[in-house]
Amino acid sequence: TAEDLQDICSFLVDTAKEGGRIILAAKPSAFEATAKKNSADIVTETDQAVEAFVRGRLTERYPDFAFIGEESYQCGATIPQRPTFIVDPIDGTSNFVHGFPAVCISIGLVMGGQPTVGVVYNPFRGELWTAVKGCGAYTSFGDGEPQRLPLSKSPLQGLKPACIGIEWGSDREGPNFELNLKVFTALARTTATGGRFVNSLRCTGSAAITICRVASGQQDAFWECGSWAWDVAGAWCILTEAGGIMVDGHPGGWNPPVDNRRYLAVRPATGGQREFVEEFWSVIGSAR
């Protein structure tokens, strides 16, 4: 029921705040971070400690739910149909080791493949976003009152005036990376016909926080080829409950599965969402 989901959400908020205390107490350094695959894909002891803490709390309280976490993920695992917590203990690990305060714990509950509860918490700023499917999305700072999302709502006017959050991803080769490069360039450049270049492209190093900014109406869209399920699962419910949409980075996919690694999130708007997506897809199509 909605009440059960609200209880789960409250428990996830407490868990995220406890995990946040572990993050704030840590003294990470870029030097001590270990590369998983390359220098852009790093992990610290704190990522592992926070995941172990969150996993322990969630599996004790909800033993029948499955758990997928970034640090314990086994390559090739798929998202089960039964209720599944999908957790990124530190989204923005590179920011974390550099002391750049765009860092969060992201916890999503996915049921039957649908993002159903989302909690994203940045302990450095005390900034929290939450949502329960069917009950709206909220944000708060510190002990402040939660505000319902979106914070503002206006029509989308296509790509040109847009502020778009992009992420490079942690793979620096392969088809996802190559497509990212082409799409970024196509968005940034004026075309020969005097056409499009977007107002601004922003990269802050946390996909989850950026999607929450899109949900809040502070950015128009988010695009990444290469996000993992744990980067998006928590923020996805927050986005859609705020009135935003998540679509596939493969043109034509209006209902992306949770483990597709190409995502386009579009902010809540009083019109123009569909046209915005179609225009973005035309950029992806021409960039291929």
Residues annotated in a binding site for Mg(2+): 70, 88, 90-91, 231
Give the closest residue to 116 by CA, choosing from 77, 148, 85, 91. Answer: 85
> 230 vs 243, which CB is nearer to ligand IPD?
230
CB 244 within 8 A of CB 237: no
Q: Is 231 a catalytic residue?
A: yes
Residues 244-273 close enough to bind ligand IPD by CB under 6 A: none
CB 235 within 8 A of CB 134: no
Largest Cα separation within the chain, whole Å, is 60
**Phi first, then psi: what are they for 187, rounded to 5°?**
-70, -35
16 is written with which tokens? Answer: 């995220």
> 96 vs 196, which CB is nearer to ligand IPD?
96
**Active-site residue (options: 127, 220, 231, 248):** 231
- The CB-nearest residue to ligand IPD is 167
- 41, exposed or middle or buried, with CB in 10 Å at 0-12, 13-18, 19+? middle
226 binds ligand IPD (CB under 6 A): yes
**E-strand spans in 59-171?**
66-69, 84-91, 104-111, 114-122, 127-132, 137-141, 147-148, 163-166
Q: Is 90 a catalytic residue?
A: yes
Q: Is 70 a catalytic residue?
A: yes
Q: Is 248 a catalytic residue?
A: no
231 binds ligand IPD (CB under 6 A): yes
207 binds ligand IPD (CB under 6 A): yes
**Active-site residue (options: 47, 51, 71, 88):** 88
The distance of closest approach from Cβ of residue 261 to ligand IPD in the complex, given in angstroms and rounded to an integer, is 9
Q: How far is CA 208 from CA 146, 185, 238, in A?
A: 19, 23, 10
44 binds ligand IPD (CB under 6 A): no
The distance of closest approach from Cβ of residue 167 to ligand IPD in the complex, given in angstroms and rounded to an integer, is 3
Using CB under 6 A, pick the residue from 167, 220, 241, 248 that binds ligand IPD: 167
Count of other CB atoms within 10 angstroms of residue 59: 14
Enzyme catalytic residues: 70, 88, 90-91, 93, 231
Q: Which residues bind ligand IPD (CB under 6 A)?
A: 70, 88, 90-93, 167-170, 205-207, 224, 226-228, 231
